[in-house]
Amino acid sequence: MGGPARSQNAPAQPSLGLQEPGPPTISPQPQSEPVPPMPKENPGLINEMGKLFDKIVPKIKSPSETIDDLNARAKDVAKGAGDALSRFTGPGSMISGRIVCPVAANGTPDCKLGADKLCQSKGFKEGKSLSTDSAQTCSAKVLIPGRARKPDDCRTDNYVTSALCQ
């Protein structure tokens, strides 16, 4: 009660933006406005350049994806080569061994006859030479110390090492 008393008829004094503290009022929480969703794309120069770059540069695969692709391609190529070989030569089997190619009348090796002999030794009728080898065969005379070597002391033998047999 100690303070100046106001009369109810007294003119209101202008306030300078100050208010007397009054009883606290409970006001409902202000509703927050919904936040507008962020734009998905920024239509700036850098964003447009990024889109262009994505279109130009192909998608880069991981190393494991690249190896898987190469393995799949290699299997396809091997299967295709095997199919082509079987169509080209007909049914047959590849045989490995080592048999000398006989020397023909003109002095050249006849590896067709050698392939036939290799295939016949495995129970087939005939064969085609797939790979050959050659080796030099010398007589024991070349081992004699002090002996002069003659042209007919050594010869080259050709061998069939694998053949496709039918």
Per-residue pLDDT of the chain (166 residues; tens, 9 = 90+): 555 555 555 555 555 555 555 555 565 555 666 666 665 655 678 888 878 777 777 677 777 888 888 888 888 887 777 666 555 545 678 889 999 999 888 888 899 999 999 999 988 889 999 999 999 988 888 888 998 888 888 888 999 999 999 8
Which pLDDT does position 159 carry in this prediction?
Answer: 93
Nearest to 156 by CA among 138, 144, 132, 140: 138
- CA torsion through residues 90, 114, 96, 126, sign: positive
Q: How far is the first Cα of the chain from the last one, in angstroms, to the nearest whole number?
A: 129
Which pLDDT does position 84 carry in this prediction?
Answer: 61
In the β-sheet with 127-138, what is the strand arrangement from edge to edge?
93-100, 154-165, 127-138
Q: d(Cα 52, Cα 26) in Å, to the nearest integer?
A: 57
